[in-house]
A = this chain, B = another copy of it.
Amino acid sequence: MWYAQQMIATNPTPPTVDQTALAECIQACFDCAQACTARADACPGEQDREMLLRCIRLNLDCANPCDATGRILTRQTALEPRMQLAALEACATACRLCGDECATHAEHGMDHCRVCAESCRRCEQACHQMLGRVAA
């Protein structure tokens, strides 16, 4: 989280929300995009075809709004709260759907799914926290 926090701290336009919460949410979005990209790649090792396709699919999808939201939150100049809210809502939904799927696989003892489920949960929670702060 070091770079995200430093970039916020040294931005000529100070953020309108709590710096630590913002940096945490940005980092959670980028980390989750990375974890979901890794997960979609690792998943072909699994056996059940239906579960496999659904899991790859949700991970590929989830990486997209995480990436979009991480970038939108990164920009501080002339920000538009309605843009942030729309992105955060889509990202929280994507992380919930993908996290639920990964959690199911994790219960069956797959470590890879567990790490990805954690990453989705952390990102979903960070988005909900930011939704509360931006809307306030």
Contacts and interface: CB of A to CB of B under 8 A. Distances in A.
Contacts of A42: 7, 10-13, 76-77
A80 interface: yes
A50 B86 CA distance: 23
Contact of A65 (B58, B80, B87, B112): B87
B90 A86 contact: yes
Interface of A is mostly: helix
Contact of A93 (B65, B83, B114): B83
Interface in A62-79: 62, 64-65, 67-72, 74-79
Contacts of A74: 34, 37-38, 41
A123 to B, nearest CB: 10
B119 A3 contact: yes
A7 B62 CA distance: 16
A116 interface: yes
B70 A68 contact: no
B34 A26 contact: yes
Contacts of A121: none
A4 interface: yes
A3 B115 contact: yes
Given A65-B86, A65-B87, A90-B89, A38 B75 contact: yes
